[in-house]
Every structure is written in structure tokens, then in C-alpha cells.
Amino acid sequence: MERIVHTADAIEWLRSQDVLEGCSLVGSLPDISEFPTYTLEEWKTWFIDTAKLILAKTPPDGIAFFFQSDIKVEGVWIDKAYLIQKAAEEMKSDLLFHKIVCRYKIGTITMGRPGYSHVLAFSKNVRPDYNKSAPDVLPDTGEKTWMRGMGLEISLMISKFVVDQAQTKTIVNPFCGQGSMLAAANFRGLNAIGIERSVKRAEAARSLKVSADGKSFEVGL
């Protein structure tokens, strides 16, 4: 399967593209900690606008996925799933699923972030066969290559959903980091395109793969 990783700013790259026919998109958008000069309201605007951009570049027969963890800012809980659903409502893209993924063992008390993440899927035309669905609550993200990685189990679940439920054959992953989603897409028989502005992370994303048994990540194609 083909894999291309562009060392570029993901937003600029997306803006330069037409609708990405034949593709489904996967986004895990940066939170306010990566925008030291932004106010909370400025970051929220950026976040919603970027989600809208990803949805705009997803073709009607494709699926846009978002993997996000909420944050707490000065005692205020910021629900990223709510922000993404605001964007999707504006773009008239329908919610196919909203899954919860445990980041820690159930019962664990966390501080800066909650103990779970959201996985949401949207499409204009795709309507899933729920006989092929994955569980709505997932016990673990799976192995990660770095702290901000999506995790193997989530990446494999998303790519399997594309294989089972959509006609698209390529996954596009803006903000691809070290390439967990790209490796999982190739493992499932899909082509993959990543966009990552960090030269070091982009290089890692070009070589990461999933082991033959689907249980772990390996470096080197």
C-alpha cells in the first residue's frame, strides 16, 4: 500500500487542495497548550474552523474522523466533542458514531485531562451497517509511539471502519505526528497520506508500521 508524508503545515496543505475524492480524513487537532499566544476564545475559534476545513475536504462518500481528549483550563472543562459537533452542524455533516476510549483504568482520578477520549465520525452520504460496528466504549487506546499518539487500537478501529463501511481507499491524516494512523491504514490495505510540519515526526511517520499480528508498532517498512 502507498504512503506519502508531506512535511508541511496541515492547514495550508488542506487549503491548497480540492475536495479529496476517494479519501476519508482523520484529525486529532492540537489543543491550547500548543498555542501559547492564543486566548481560550481564539483557540476555540481556530479549533472549530480547522474542524470545518477537514469536513469541507472530505468527499460526500468519505468519512471524517476526530480523535480528541478534553482539557481543563483554569477550572473550566472544554468539551472538544461539542466544538467538533458545532463545526459538523455548520457543514451539514451527520454524526455516524461517538465512541468513548478509556485513557486510564476506570476509577482513576485525573487532573489536567479526563480519563477518556472521544472518537467521532461524520459523513454526508455514508450510512453505516451497524452489524459491523465496534463497541461504543473502548477499554484502551492501545500502544502509543509517543505521548500524543492516537494509539494502535484506535487507529486500527478507524481504518477497519473505513474498509467495512466506506468506498474510499485512502486515509488522509492532517497533524499525523509519528504516523500511527498511517501505519494502521496500510495494515488494513488502505493507502495513506500524512501531513506533519515537524521534520523529525514526519520522518518517523514514513517508517512506522504495524506488526504482522496487529499487536504492536514497529519501526521500518
> Which residue, among 6, 67, 64, 78, has the nearest Cα to 35 in the 3D structure?
78
Domain ranges of the chain: 3-219
The residues that bridge with 170 in the sheet, in sequence order, are 23, 191
Over residues 42-81, the pLDDT tens digits come to: 999 999 999 999 999 999 999 999 999 999 988 899 999 9
> Which residue, among 151, 183, 153, 189, has the nearest Cα to 169 in the 3D structure?
189
Instruction: Count CB atoms within 10 A of the CB of residue 31.
Output: 18
Over residues 89-121, the pLDDT tens digits come to: 999 999 999 999 999 888 888 887 899 999 999
Radius of gyration of the chain (CA): 16
CATH class of 3-219: alpha beta
Return the C-alpha cell found at 9: 503545515
Confidence band for 29, pLDDT divided at 50, 70 and 90: very high
